[in-house]
Amino acid sequence: MKSVAVLGATGNLGSQVALQIIDRGWDLSVAVRSAGRLSQKVADHARVKILDLSSAPEAEIARFIQDHDALICSAGVVTQAKEFVALIDRIVSAVESIPIGSRPPSWFMAGAALLELDVNGRRGVDLPKVRDTYWPHRVNFERLQRSGLDWRLLCPGPMVDQPGLGMDRLRVSINTLAAPLPAIARFLPAPLLLPLFAAKIPEMIIPYADAATVMLDNLSANSTMSRKRVGIALPVGMRGKKNEWAAKPRHEA
């Protein structure tokens, strides 16, 4: 039976991760600021540690994570900017302090803007306007690259609270956009690349349930996803919106 430590278990994605861990019959530990925000099912089945990740000593975070088979971190949001960067740095440093042989494979979160858009290696986060909001994903990615952790970085588009489609239907990519741009994209300047990227976002609006499944299905140490960015997209021809399928595009990254 696997044991998984989850950070951010009261959020939309983290709560879905926690529920799926329970449904798989695995051992679950969660660190939260307030146990009252947990769903009843998670509160009943998980080992709960009260911990404020923004202020707790790294050693205390490390003690919570150590001795688990895997870590899933969905804590923080990109709009917190510098606070989000500081949070991820604190968590990565905590895992780094764990002896190498005891460090768990660790999933972290970013967004589709961090994935490569063309053969030139350009990313959404490098484009005008996008970089203004999503630059923390780039900084967090660079922090992970400097570490010696067995990390994986999930890079979905916007996520929605809808039933999962299942892994057999999703498009999953490594380091590149899961809903690829047309080949002509490599010849375009950044200002013209931006609308092509924006037009692809509806294909990458996925359920929280599917994002959780991608991570939980890929927890093995030194796997093909180790130290990689992982993209997810809907089946070819399907487009999503925040609250319904097959709707007009909503441009998010």
Whether residue 242 is contained in a domain is answered as no
Tell me the pLDDT tens digit for each residue of 105-142. Answer: 999 999 999 999 999 999 999 998 999 999 999 999 99
pLDDT reported for residue 250? 33
- What is the average pLDDT value for the chain, to the nearest integer? 94
Task: Say if residue 237 is exposed, middle or buried (CB neighbours under 10 Å; 0-12, 13-18, 19+).
Answer: exposed
pLDDT at 128: 87
pLDDT of 200 higher than 90 = yes
State both tokens at 192.
């013209």
Dist CA 196 CA 173 (whole Å): 18
pLDDT at 251: 31
239 lies in some domain: no
pLDDT at 40 over 90: yes
Domain containing residue 103: 3-233
Give the percent of the chain with pLDDT over 70.
95
State yes or no: pLDDT of 68 exceeds 80. yes
Number of domains in the chain: 1
Give the model's pLDDT for residue 248: 34
Q: What mean pLDDT do residues 207-236 have?
A: 97
Residue 243 has pLDDT above 90, yes or no: no
Residue 45 within any structural domain of the chain: yes
Residue 20 scores a pLDDT above 90: yes
| Phi then psi dihedrals of residue 172, to 5 deg | -120, 135
In a domain, 60, yes or no: yes
> Of all helices (H) and strands (E), which one includes residue 96?
helix 82-96
pLDDT above 90 as % of the chain? 93
Q: E strands, the chain, where?
A: 3-7, 27-32, 47-50, 70-73, 106-109, 151-155, 159-160, 171-174, 206-207, 228-233
Q: pLDDT at residue 63 above 90?
A: yes
In a domain, 243, yes or no: no
Q: What is the mean pLDDT of residues 134-157?
A: 98
For residue 70, what are the β-bridge partners? 4
Q: Quick check: is 246 in a domain? A: no
Could you tell me if 76 and 8 are in contact, meaning their C-beta atoms sit under 8 angstroms apart?
yes
Mean pLDDT of 64-90: 97
Question: 30 by DSSP, 3-state: which?
Answer: strand
How many residues does the structure list for the chain?
A: 253
CATH of residue 218: 3.40.50.720
Residue 26, number of CB atoms within 10 A of its CB: 17
Q: What is the pLDDT of residue 197?
A: 96
